[in-house]
Amino acid sequence: MTTDLNPHSNRSVILTVAEVIDETQDARSIVFDLPTHNAEKFVDYLPGQFLTLRIPSEQIGSVARCYSLSSTAGHDERPKITVKRTSDGYGSNWICDNLAVGAQIEVLPPSGVFTPSDIDAPTLLIAAGSGVTPVMSILKAVLADGTGPVTFLYANRGERDVIFAAELRELQTRHADRLTVIHWLNSVQGRLTEDQVANLIAPLSATHSAYVCGPGPFMDAVHAGLSKAGFGHERVHNEVYTSLSGDPFEDVELGELSDEEVDSAAQVEVELDGHTHQLSWPRSRTLVDVMLGAGLDAPYSCREGECGSCACSLTKGTVEMAVTGALDDADIADGYILACQARPTSDSLRIEF
C-alpha cells in the first residue's frame, strides 16, 4: 500500500484510514481521520454528499470514483464511506481489498446536491442495496436535527444483505414516534414493482419529499411508482453515479483570453453561499471556469456533467450545454443548468447556487 502520498491539486487532500467495518459479506465501511488540510470541509459537509477518491490503476495511473458518505456531520466524529463489491466494479473491489487501517488515499472534499432542502419536512427515503449509503446520512440528520415524520423503504436481495441493519433497528427504537422502516426482501417478496411502490407510498404523496438511490432497474420502478402515487417531479430527488472518464484531481488551467473573447463576454450575477458576485463571462468558457478564475469556491467535482455537484438555477438569460447527463428534461424545464457545462448565449444572466 502506498503511503505518504502527495495531493495532485490544490483542492484534494490525503485521508488516512482510521477504521474498517465489515457491514455485510460484500460491503464495508471505511472511516477516515480528519485531514490536516481543509479539515473544516470534512466536518461541515451536508447529509447525502459524497467523496471522490483517486484510485490507483496499473493501466492508466488512476481512476476517479465517487462514494457517498454514510456518516453525518455533527453526529459522527469522523467521515465514513460505505462501499459494496460488484462483479465489474474496479473501484469498489480495490477499496475493499486494499484500504486497511493506516492506508492513505487522495480525495476531493465532500460534494453533491443530493441533500434535503428542509430538514424539518416530512421525508420519504427509498433505497436498494448500497444505495442506502447517502440515504443513511440523510436519515440520521433528519432524525437528529429535524422534526417531521420519516418513512424509509429499503429493498435488498435477502436478510443478510441489509447494510446497517443493527443501526436501523436502534434508530427505529429511539425514534419510534417519527420513523417507519419498511424492509423489502427479494428473497421473500420478489422484486419490488412500480405498483407495489405506489401502493406503499400513496398515503405520503401529498406531504412528503422523496430521496431515492439504488441500481438502474430499481430506480426505474421507483420513479414509475412515485409518479403513479402522485409525487410531483419537484419533490423527487435522485442520486445516480456514473464512472468518471476525466481526472478531476488535476488543477484547472484557464489560459489567456483573446481580446475578442473579453470584448464579447456576457455579464453574469452569481449568488453563491449568500453572497452575490458580478462576473464577466466569456462565451468560450464554462461558468465553473469563470468562477475559478475569479477566485470563487465553485461547487464542482467531475467537470464532465455527470455528478450534478455544480447544478444551479438559471433565473435570467440563456445558456448552451454540451452535456446534460446529470439533469433530466424536467430539471432543465425547471431552469436548472450544470455550471461545468454551461456557456452563455445571452448578454446578461443571473445564476443561483
pTM higher than 0.85: yes
pLDDT of residue 240: 79
Q: CA-CA distance, 114 to 49, in Å (whole number)?
A: 6
Alpha-carbon gap, residue 212 to 195, rounded angstroms: 17
Question: What's the pLDDT score for residue 3?
Answer: 52
Three-class SS of 87-116: CCCHHHHHHHHHCCCCCEEEEEEEECCCCC
What's the pLDDT at 58?
78
CA torsion sign for 224, 125, 210, 312 is negative
pLDDT of residue 4: 65
Structure confidence at residue 1 (pLDDT) = 44
pLDDT for 202 equals 97
Q: What pLDDT score does 328 carry?
A: 85
Identify the pLDDT of residue 8. 85
User: Phi and psi for 283 in degrees, rounded to 5?
Assistant: -70, -15
**What's the confidence (pLDDT) of residue 217?**
94
Which residues of the chain carry a pLDDT beneath 50?
1-2
Give the model confidence (pLDDT) of 144-158 as tens digits. 999 999 999 999 999
